[in-house]
Structure 1
Amino acid sequence: MSGTADTLARILIVEDEPKLAALVGDYLAAAGYAWQWVADGREAIPAIRRDAPDLVLLDLMLPGRNGLDICRELRSFSDVPIVMLTARVEEIDRLLGLELGADDYICKPFSPREVVARIKAILRRARAPADLAGSMLKIDDNTHRATFHGIVLDLTPVEFRLLKTLAATPGRVFSRDRLLDNLYLDHRVVTDRTVDSHIKNLRRKLEQAAPGQDPIRSIYGVGYKLELD
């Protein structure tokens, strides 16, 4: 099932309620997006590998396989944006979903217009080079180049991915495990203290570019966040 041919991006809806999926799909099509729908959790990963959508709307409670398991496996091989849809509003579910790598979380019942607005914001953020707090920090994924206060940062590939992850959501606290998921493309087994070492090196290079400024904050017992105030 799909929307119009003239599209901005392709959205995969993983939802077991046909009427809800069709309603959201209609709004996506009206906004210029193409969309596909699968109702069984077991079909999600094969559909993503086959069709390479630009964003996944993922229900939490699905037949065959739940959304958290799908999110966990998806993050093992793809950084495609994930928006979770669910009627489970408990805080532990929300935190667990985002910890596994979801980019946003919308509770049912919701407005389809809100879903489309969230999708637009996420895709715009994902596609554009990061330009945060004016000219303070710029990250260009296409050229693999980052600057801080106009100074080019001499980053290793791992440090670049670390900075990119933190900068994707300034102010959000990332656990060491979550950061590790984004650092190594081969998903090698390393200790969480590896993140501390990379953070130390990244801080040193940011300090060299702008003496006296350290935008990376350590949250004791939790992880790290980037502040660009």
Structure 2
Amino acid sequence: MDQRKILIIEDDVDLVDMLEMYLEDKNITIVKAYSSVDIPEDLSAIDLILLDINLPGNNGFEICKQLRERWLMPILFLSARVNEADKIEGLMLGGDDYITKPFSLDELYARIYTNLTRSDRVKYLSKNNQVRLIEGCVFSLNGVALDLTKSEFEILELLVNNPKQIFSKERIYDSLWGIDSFGNPQVVSEHIRNIRNKMAEVSDQEFIKTHWGLGYSWIG
């Protein structure tokens, strides 16, 4: 597996140290948080989160709910709670998996690997949860799912994950189809126009700004 970074939110120091030692041998870098106050503000580099439930201050359920307001990386609960109600609550709040303690390290790694490789997830949500990219070429705006072509989705993915950065038509074209492909970058303008038309059916807000002579940027 390629180099990955995992955030472990767990107050058991010995368990965290053991997980760090094991997972670093699997080419995984560990970031530690022993309570909600230790969680970094910027999680854009985090690929997956291991989250305990019984934590000082905010518990794991509350933390998961807060994280899901901004981030879409997989969240795996680690908990000694074995009753079904807790498992259901964790999954309903946005958890991707629920692993009961004690667990084998090999099983944990298998679940981590599965969640990391299942499908790529876009790690961006607007602050008011207004805009959301979902796998499968679906774009959610104000709670309404807009069907996009694969190319439209990939253009949005590029812009949304790099807010306020200007991308020329040529750069967008090369990012999607490769610098060795034969085609006209002008097709990007057509895709942008189609994207805007679909978004305009739901919202009159401007999300993609045209910088004349330079390109496009996401300002949503």
What TM-score bracket applies, with the shorter chain setting the length?
Answer: 0.5 to 0.7
The structure-2 alpha-carbon separation of the partners of 1:106 and 1:160, relative to structure 1 and needing over 3 Å to count, comes to: farther
Q: Distance in 2 between matches of 1:156 and 1:13?
A: 29
- SS for the counterpart of 1:34 is strand
Q: 1:32 aligns with which of 18, 27, 32?
A: 27
The structure-2 alpha-carbon separation of the partners of 1:48 and 1:114, relative to structure 1 and needing over 3 Å to count, comes to: farther
Q: Distance in 1 between matches of 2:9 and 2:140?
A: 36
Listed one character per residue, the Cα deviations across residues 70-106 of structure 1 (whole Å, up to 9, x for unaligned) are 0001111111110000001111111000000000000
- SS for the counterpart of 1:85 is strand
Q: How many residues are treated as equivalent by the alignment?
A: 134
Q: 1:17 aligns with which of 8, 12, 23?
A: 12
Instruction: Find the structure with the greater CA-based Rg.
Output: 2
Q: Distance in 2 between matches of 1:14 and 1:96?
A: 18
Using the aligned pairs only, state the percent identity. 38
Q: Distance in 2 between matches of 1:107 and 1:145?
A: 34
Q: 2:94 aligns with which of 93, 101, 123?
A: 101
Q: State the match for 1:86 in structure 2.
A: 79
Shift of 1:24: 1.1
Q: Does 1:117 align with 2:103?
A: no
Q: State the match for 1:159 in structure 2.
A: 145
Listed one character per residue, the Cα deviations across residues 152-195 of structure 1 (whole Å, up to 9, x for unaligned) are xxx8764368xxxxxxxxxxxxxxxxxxxxxxxxxxxxxxxxxx
- SS for the counterpart of 1:11 is strand
- SS for the counterpart of 2:110 is helix
- SS for the counterpart of 1:127 is coil
Q: Distance in 2 between matches of 1:48 and 1:31?
A: 26
Amino acid at match of 2:95: A
CA contact under 8 A between 1:23 and 1:112: conserved in structure 2? Answer: no
TM-score by length of 1: 0.52
Amino acid at match of 2:46: P
The structure-2 alpha-carbon separation of the partners of 1:109 and 1:52, relative to structure 1 and needing over 3 Å to count, comes to: same
Shift of 1:115: 1.1
The structure-2 alpha-carbon separation of the partners of 1:99 and 1:38, relative to structure 1 and needing over 3 Å to count, comes to: same
Q: State the match for 2:48 in structure 1.
A: 55
Q: Distance in 1 between matches of 2:14 and 2:69?
A: 31
Which structure 2 residues correspond to residues 168-179 of structure 1 after superposition, within 5 A? none
5+ residue gaps, structure 2: 122-133, 148-220
Amino acid at match of 1:124: T
Q: Distance in 2 between matches of 1:80 and 1:48?
A: 15
Q: 2:60 aligns with which of 41, 61, 67?
A: 67
Q: Distance in 1 between matches of 2:115 and 2:27?
A: 15
The structure-2 alpha-carbon separation of the partners of 1:156 and 1:102, relative to structure 1 and needing over 3 Å to count, comes to: closer
Amino acid at match of 1:115: L
Amino acid at match of 2:26: A
CA contact under 8 A between 1:7 and 1:34: conserved in structure 2? Answer: no
Q: Distance in 2 between matches of 1:23 and 1:126?
A: 28
Q: Distance in 1 between matches of 2:10 and 2:65?
A: 17
The structure-2 alpha-carbon separation of the partners of 1:75 and 1:34, relative to structure 1 and needing over 3 Å to count, comes to: same
Identify, as 1 or 2, the structure richer in helix: 1
Root-mean-square deviation (CA, aligned residues, Å) is: 2.7
CA contact under 8 A between 1:14 and 1:39: conserved in structure 2? Answer: yes
